[in-house]
Chain A
Amino acid sequence: MSAASNNKIVKWVDERLPIFTMVQHSAVEYPTPRNLNYWWNFGSLAGFALVIMILTGLFLAMSYTAHTDYAFQSVERIMRDVNYGWLLRYMHANGASMFFIVVFIHIFRGLYYGSYKPPREILWWVGLVIMLLMMATAFMGYVLPWGQMSFWGATVITNLFSAIPVVGEHIVVWLWGGFSVDNPTLNRFFALHFLLPFVILGAVVVHVWALHTVRSNNPLGIDVKSPQDTIPFHPYYTIKDLYGMGVFMMFFAVFLFWYPNALGHPDNYIPADPMVTPAHIVPEWYFLPFYAILRAVPDKLGGVLLMFASIGVLAALPWLDTSKVRSCTFRPIYKWFFWIFVADTFVLGYIGAMPAEEPYVVIGQVATAWYFIHLLIITPLVGWLEKPKPLPESISSPVVKSGAATEAARNAA
């Protein structure tokens, strides 16, 4: 047993179930590249956000009623009568946004530093699965308060499936459990909204398992070559992750305590009314880029397909990116295209929030086109044509060399 404990109970347990050894291996000794920057904080932050969501969600579920006649009132009761109910609900509602912010940054970090490239393809895919599960969970959670946006969001999103030829209508009726979004829909969404976070948790375990098999990428994007290149996870990265958590919690607290409704939509404080659609339906901000892609195509099925394709294409990225070099630090041309791509997703997000009229439609179509051009054409082409900068010999060599240089300079002085 490698766990640094001579405690007899620990030993007794560990010989029968090596749980302490596992923790020792994966959270203490885990050899981590010594050069990880703050962009690597967002993985652990995402895990932290998931824990917050599951905890607040569990306690909210204890006071929530999944019935069309009571759901809205039960949420208002949570806000007014349940002890700290306002805190739990605002933590949960804003926590969803925080979770997506953190995960989107985590994904962009993977894109910039080439973390999807061999041997990390499966790690990347599991991450994409987690994102899809998050989107499904967030969507169904938004339906539960049974406000106007809940109801019409549920109606619009479930109607996406009606675009499927032949069986589409049947699928939608099956999803609803009726002929419109109604009590059966609310009940099943609540059941699934409770289940999916634990499925996400399972996927996170697989994600971390894959990570610990292929080991962390790093800002230089080169492989670990010697023990000199790594430091143990604990205490170096535990303390760095904790520091990041502190900063994250301050950011979270600003929204939670000062702007708890800034990321929501006021119409969702109007009880659901199947007879009146709100004048301007907008999904939550984290869906806006996808919503813009959906609306960019003036064809029902085409829009839906393109929206799902926007995530599907990311799964093919390990092969679409033909470059031998992982990190954009050494890719002078692709680096710029990366930032244009980031800007493009922001444009899509902005367009998604705008009404479907000119000039937004054309801008949305151009931005959608660029999204796919970037991934399907620019990425392979630049990979072939670009001449990357020379890579350092190893992760530790720049540090060791510059260290030696300063030492020499000091001696000279």
Chain B
Amino acid sequence: MAETANPAHGPSDGETRRDFLLYASSAVGVVGAGLALWPFIHSMNPAADVLALASTEVNLSAIAEGQAITVMWRGKPVFVRHRTEAEIEAARSVNIDQLADPQSDEDRVQQPRWLVMVGVCTHLGCIPLGQKPSDPKGDFGGWFCPCHGSHYDTSGRIRKGPAPLNLPIPEYAFLDDETILIG
């Protein structure tokens, strides 16, 4: 052990100190590179002007019973439908346990007359038909996606076809009886 009397110059000690310096400087380098990388990655996230347009106000007063309109929200179509009593009845009389994506109609609306949902098929992103009176509405009187044949009911739930989920409900709120704010 006499050789290690001067530890600063001992061969084994020199190795560990060099190792320490190598690991320490590598760690600093990796952390620094990671920090430097973040602005680059974050620059690809939605910019301030994009986020500023992330909510949409919709006036419901002009939509008559049985009519539907499509509004643009975050670059996607949102279906707003003024449902008839028969449509609401059809949506509520379904046995929920038989659905592919079980969800009650009550959970999908804030006011039964107004169905608000993102009009993008949950299969591969096409826009289902059913907004216009002349459109095919599928076997369940709601919407029909022409791309791969998914059928949605009057609550926008998937009933038949390859789509796995119901049409999603966006975050929205009634500002007053005739206005909603989506997003």
What is A's interface to B at a CB cutoff of 8 Å? 55-56, 59, 62-63, 77, 80-85, 87-88
Contact = CB atoms under 8 A, between A and B. Distances in A.
B47 A63 contact: yes
Contact of A88 (B40, B45, B49): B40
25 contacts: A55-B40, A56-B40, A59-B43, A59-B44, A62-B43, A63-B47, A77-B47, A77-B49, A81-B47, A81-B48, A81-B49, A81-B50, A82-B43, A82-B47, A83-B43, A83-B45, A83-B48, A84-B38, A84-B39, A84-B40, A84-B43, A85-B47, A87-B39, A88-B39, A88-B40
Given A81-B47, A82-B48, A83-B43, 13 more contacts: A55-B40, A59-B40, A59-B44, A63-B43, A77-B49, A81-B50, A83-B39, A83-B47, A83-B48, A84-B40, A84-B42, A84-B43, A88-B40
A401 B55 CA distance: 78
Most-contacted residue by chain A among B40, B42, B44, B49 (CB, 10 A): B40
B175 to A, nearest CB: 27
A62 B40 CA distance: 11
Interface residues of B, number: 11
B13 to A, nearest CB: 19
B98 to A, nearest CB: 46
A209 B38 CA distance: 33
Nearest to A55: B40
Contacts of B39: 83-84, 87-88
A55 B38 CA distance: 13
A61 B1 CA distance: 64
Contacts of A88: 39-40, 43
Interface string B106-125: 00000000000000000000
Point out which of B39, B42, B45 has the most chain A C-beta atoms below 10 A from its C-beta.
B39
B49 A83 contact: no
A56 B48 CA distance: 20
Contacts of B48: 80-83
Contacts of A77: 47, 49
Contacts of A59: 40, 43-44
Contacts of B44: 59, 62
Contacts, number: 36
B20 to A, nearest CB: 15
B58 to A, nearest CB: 25
Which 7 pairs from chain A and chain B are nearest by CB?
Answer: A84-B39, A81-B48, A81-B47, A81-B49, A83-B42, A82-B47, A84-B43
Contacts of A84: 38-40, 42-43
B39 to A, nearest CB: 4
Interface in B30-78: 38-40, 42-45, 47-50
Contacts of A87: 39
B49 A85 contact: no
A77 B47 CA distance: 9
Contacts of A83: 39, 42-43, 45, 47-48
Nearest to A85: B43
A51 to B, nearest CB: 11
Contacts of B45: 83
A59 B39 CA distance: 10
A55 B41 CA distance: 11
B103 to A, nearest CB: 36
B84 to A, nearest CB: 44
B37 to A, nearest CB: 9
B61 to A, nearest CB: 34
Contacts of B42: 83-84
A8 to B, nearest CB: 24
A80 B47 CA distance: 9
A408 B181 CA distance: 89
Nearest to A77: B49
Contacts of A55: 40
B40 to A, nearest CB: 5
Interface in B139-163: none
A233 B43 CA distance: 36
B153 to A, nearest CB: 41
A169 to B, nearest CB: 42
A10 B42 CA distance: 34
A75 to B, nearest CB: 13
A370 B49 CA distance: 54
Nearest to B46: A83
Contacts of B40: 55-56, 59, 84, 88
A80 B43 CA distance: 12
Most buried by B among A77, A82, A83: A83
Contacts of B43: 59, 62-63, 82-85, 88
Nearest to B44: A62
A81 B38 CA distance: 16
A80 B50 CA distance: 12
B75 to A, nearest CB: 16
A82 B40 CA distance: 11
Contacts of A62: 43-44
Nearest to B39: A84
A56 B36 CA distance: 11
A70 to B, nearest CB: 13
Nearest to A84: B39
B21 to A, nearest CB: 10
Contacts of B38: 84
A82 B38 CA distance: 13
Nearest to A239: B25
